[in-house]
A and B are shown apart, each in its own frame.
Chain A
C-alpha cells in the first residue's frame, strides 16, 4: 500500500492510495487533472509528466534512457521530471509528493 500526493496545476493537493499498477493509472483513476496517459502507459506519449519532490527522488528512482529521451519532448522538464506511467506503485514510494506538469 502506498499513499501518493499529487499537486495539480491549480494547486489542488490530492492524496490517493493504491497497492499495484502504475502511478499514471492511479492518477487517471482518480481524475488527477493534467495526467492524461494517452498511450495507455507504454512510455510513448509523454502526457503523464510529473515533478518528483526533491526529498522523494531516492524513493522514486531515476528515469530509464527511453523515458529520459521522451521527457525531452516536454519543454519544462528538469532533473526531477518523470513520466509517471513508468513508476510502479509499491510500498517503496509511500508518501511521495508529485507535482503535475502544466
Chain B
C-alpha cells in the first residue's frame, strides 16, 4: 500500500505513461505522481500524426487528456524536461535543468526512437525528417509547403512510411516510397497484404519501389531548385525536396542502462511490469514482455499494448497482483482503407485468404499454426477482425474449408470446436 509520502515518477508522457498516471489514481495511489517528458506539448495521440495531423490544414494535437484532468487527479506534469541521469541505487533522477527528483517507484515509459540508417550524407542533409512527434510533423509540413517541386521520398515501406505516403499524396505531394526488402510490409504481413497495399498506393499515384536500399544522399541543383538526390545501391536515384524516414524504431533504453536493468530488445519486464530492479517498472513500446496467450516474449509498438499494460502496472504498483494477458491488436488507415489486425502471426504455418464475393476490396487473411488461429489481417472487413478476435480469445477451432469458401458468408458458425 502507498502512503501520502510516496512518490511515483513516470518518465515518458505518451499513451503508456499518461495512462499509467491516471490508472495509479484509479488504483488509489495516495502519494505524489510526477509525469516527465522531453516533448513540450501537452500529451497527445500519436497515431494521427502520420494521418490527419499531416493532412489537416491547421494541425491541432489530439490531446490524450484535457489539462484539467491532470489537475483533478493531482498529476504533476513536467513537460519539455529531459531526464539526464538515473541513480537507481539511491532512487533519484536528475533533469536537464539539474533538478533532482526522488522516487519511491519509477515507471519507464520511454517509448522508442526512429532508426537513422547509415546513409552517406544523410546526417548533414537538411531535408530529411523522422516521424515520431508533433514537432516532426510541423517540420515536415513546413518543408513541404516551402518546396517547389513537391517531390517527397519516403525511405521505408512499413506502416509509418505508407501512412505518410498516403497523407502527403492527399495534400498534393509527388511521392516515391523506397523499400529495402523484396516487398513492402514484409516484416509484419504476408504477401497478399503487401500486394494489396502496393496496388492501392499505385492506383493513388504513389510510386513504390522495392529492393531499393538507399546508401547515399546528395544536395544538387536541378532547374535552379535545391533538391536532394537519393541514391540506391543499384545506382538508381530519385530526387526530392523532402525525405521522410520510416525504417523502424529502437526502444529508448539509455536510462534503463544507467540503472543496469536487464535488457533484451527493450527493457525486460515480468507479467506484472517489474524490471530487474524492484522499484522500477517499464511499460509500453520500450518493454520487452511475455505474452501469455502466444507464450512468447515480445516488444510491441502499439496503443493497445501501452494502454492495457498501464492498467496492469498501476495495479501492481498499488499492491494488487495482476498479470498482463492480452491479445494484441493494431490498426492502420491509408486513403479510405481501414486495416485492422488482431493477434501475432509470427509462427504461422498456413493462411486462409477470404475475398468477399459481393463486396469489392473486402479482404481478410487468417493466419494459422495448424489448427490454432493466430491472427487476422482485415482490409475493410471489421467483421473478420471482430470474429477473429473472438475466436482467438475463446480458443476456438475454425473450419478452414468454410472459411476459404467465399460463397458462404462469414459466420460465427465457422468456429466448430474448442482447441
Interface residues of A (CB under 8 A from B): 28-31, 36, 38-45, 65-66, 69-70, 72-73
A70 and B382 in contact, given A31-B72, A38-B307, A40-B48 (Cβ under 8 angstroms): yes
A40: chain B residues at CB < 8 Å are 45, 47-48, 62
CB distance from A8 to the nearest CB of B (A): 14
CB distance from B6 to the nearest CB of A (A): 24
A69: chain B residues at CB < 8 Å are 382-383, 385-386
For the complex, give the distance between the alpha carbons of A27 and B311 in Å.
21
B386 touches A73 (CB 8 A): yes
Q: How many residues of B contact A (CB 8 A)?
A: 24
Stretch at the interface among B63-71, B80-88, B181-189: B63-71
B382 touches A28 (CB 8 A): no
User: Does B389 reach chain A (CB closer than 8 Å)?
Assistant: yes
For the complex, give the distance between the alpha carbons of A36 and B66 in Å.
12
B331 touches A39 (CB 8 A): yes
A42 and B72 in contact, given A29-B66, A73-B389 (Cβ under 8 angstroms): no
Interface residues of B (CB under 8 A from A): 15, 45, 47-48, 62-63, 65-66, 68-69, 72, 303-304, 307, 331, 333, 338, 340, 382-383, 385-386, 389-390
For the complex, give the distance between the alpha carbons of A74 and B223 in Å.
58
The 4 closest A-B pairs by CB, nearest first: A69-B382, A40-B45, A44-B331, A66-B382
B304: chain A residues at CB < 8 Å are 38, 45
B382 touches A42 (CB 8 A): no
CB distance from B183 to the nearest CB of A (A): 25
A28 touches B65 (CB 8 A): yes
A72 touches B386 (CB 8 A): yes
Minimal Cβ-Cβ distance residue in B for A46 = B386
A31 touches B68 (CB 8 A): yes
CB distance from B259 to the nearest CB of A (A): 29
B303 touches A38 (CB 8 A): yes
A30: chain B residues at CB < 8 Å are 66
CB distance from A33 to the nearest CB of B (A): 10
